[in-house]
């Protein structure tokens, strides 16, 4: 089954509006006339998303880095899904390891966010991944299965088919260390098999699974060649227009 690849740049807490504008100017020039076969998007900060919206780079998917699960309310500092919809956001990164680590994001809140996003017709990019010590202790599969089963509790199969999952080993994020392509493939296949167990095989075949963690233009092909890797979630190498374009292979 062929799944369209999806490459998402995760800008984290980088760039102000002017820097975003500069990126767009350069990227728009570089992409002109190029036949890009994959889906591609940028997960920008809440203040930079309107800059992306105003400039409407052809086919660029607008991705947010977080959202709240309640429709509105007294939640100082949070952003509601309807606010994101106003600025054309269609995908939201959920459960990134930095949010789990620094902002108390739990499997339970992640599950609530997935429900809220699917109910609003937005697509979650659900992040999962093991820490260095879990990797060393060979607990990768257990950790990821737990993250996925709790995140997907009560999520209907017609929604799961639209889901994007990003497998990001925490020890590979921003470290320059990557999982080998074979290692990443093994885990992404395990994730697909587990979705088949939780739902069924057809549904599992439709889910797009990205690898993330120190992906760059120089190594992305080795990951995308793997049969169960359908894209990448890329931090550092997505910040410069030339390098981001180099990821859209």
Binding site for ligand PGA (CB under 6 A): 10, 168, 173-174, 212-215, 233-237
Active-site option among 91, 96, 115, 159: 96
96 is catalytic: yes
98 is catalytic: no
**Interior CA angle at 212 toward 84 and 101, to 5°?**
70
* Integer Cα distance of 159 and 201 in angstroms: 15
Smaller CB distance to ligand PGA: residue 10 or 66?
A: 10
| Nearest-CB residue for ligand PGA | 235
CB atoms within 10 A of CB 175: 12
247's torsion region: left (phi>0), alpha (psi -120 to 50) or beta?
Answer: alpha
Residue 15: its H or E element: none
Q: Output the smallest distance, CB 186 to ligand PGA, in A.
A: 19
Smaller CB distance to ligand PGA: residue 116 or 129?
A: 129
Q: Output the smallest distance, CB 44 to ligand PGA, in A.
A: 13
Smaller CB distance to ligand PGA: residue 122 or 234?
A: 234
* Integer Cα distance of 222 and 168 in angstroms: 16
Q: Output the smallest distance, CB 168 to ligand PGA, in A.
A: 6
Smaller CB distance to ligand PGA: residue 9 or 27?
A: 9
Token match 């550092």: residue?
A: 236
Q: Which of 189, 183, 187, 182 is nearest to 228 (CA)?
A: 189
* Integer Cα distance of 173 and 178 in angstroms: 8
* Integer Cα distance of 127 and 124 in angstroms: 9
* Integer Cα distance of 215 and 229 in angstroms: 13
Smaller CB distance to ligand PGA: residue 151 or 204?
A: 151
Tokens representing 31 are: 């992409």
Task: Tell me the C-alpha to C-alpha distance, in Å, between residue 44 and each of 9, 20, 47, 139, 186.
Answer: 8, 9, 8, 32, 30
Q: Output the smallest distance, CB 176 to ligand PGA, in A.
A: 8
Tokens representing 36 are: 């890009």
Query: What residues act catalytically?
Result: 96, 168
């Amino acid at each position: 089954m062929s799944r369209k690849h999806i490459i998402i740049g995760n800008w984290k807490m980088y760039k102000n509006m002017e820097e975003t504008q500069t990126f767009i100017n350069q990227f728009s020039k570089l992409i002109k006339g190029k036949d890009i076969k994959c889906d591609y998007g940028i997960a920008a900060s809440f203040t930079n998303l309107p800059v992306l919206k105003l400039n409407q780079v052809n086919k660029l998917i607008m991705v947010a880095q977080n959202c709240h699960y309640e429709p509105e309310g007294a939640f100082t500092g949070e952003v509601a899904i309807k606010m994101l919809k106003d600025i054309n956001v269609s995908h939201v990164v959920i459960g990134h390891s930095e949010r789990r680590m620094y902002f108390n994001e739990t499997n339970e809140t992640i599950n609530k966010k997935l429900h809220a996003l699917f109910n609003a017709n937005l697509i979650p990019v659900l992040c999962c991944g093991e820490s260095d010590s879990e990797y060393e202790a060979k607990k990768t599969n257990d950790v990821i299965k737990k993250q996925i089963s709790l995140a997907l509790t009560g999520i209907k199969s017609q929604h799961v088919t639209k889901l994007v999952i990003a497998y990001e080993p925490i020890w590979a994020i921003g470290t320059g260390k990557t999982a080998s392509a074979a290692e990443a493939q093994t885990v992404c296949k395990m994730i697909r098999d587990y979705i088949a167990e939780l739902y069924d095989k057809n549904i599992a075949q439709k889910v797009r699974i990205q690898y993330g963690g120190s992906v760059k233009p120089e190594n992305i092909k080795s990951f995308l060649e793997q049969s169960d890797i359908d894209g990448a979630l890329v931090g550092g190498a997505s910040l410069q227009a030339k390098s981001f374009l180099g990821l859209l292979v």
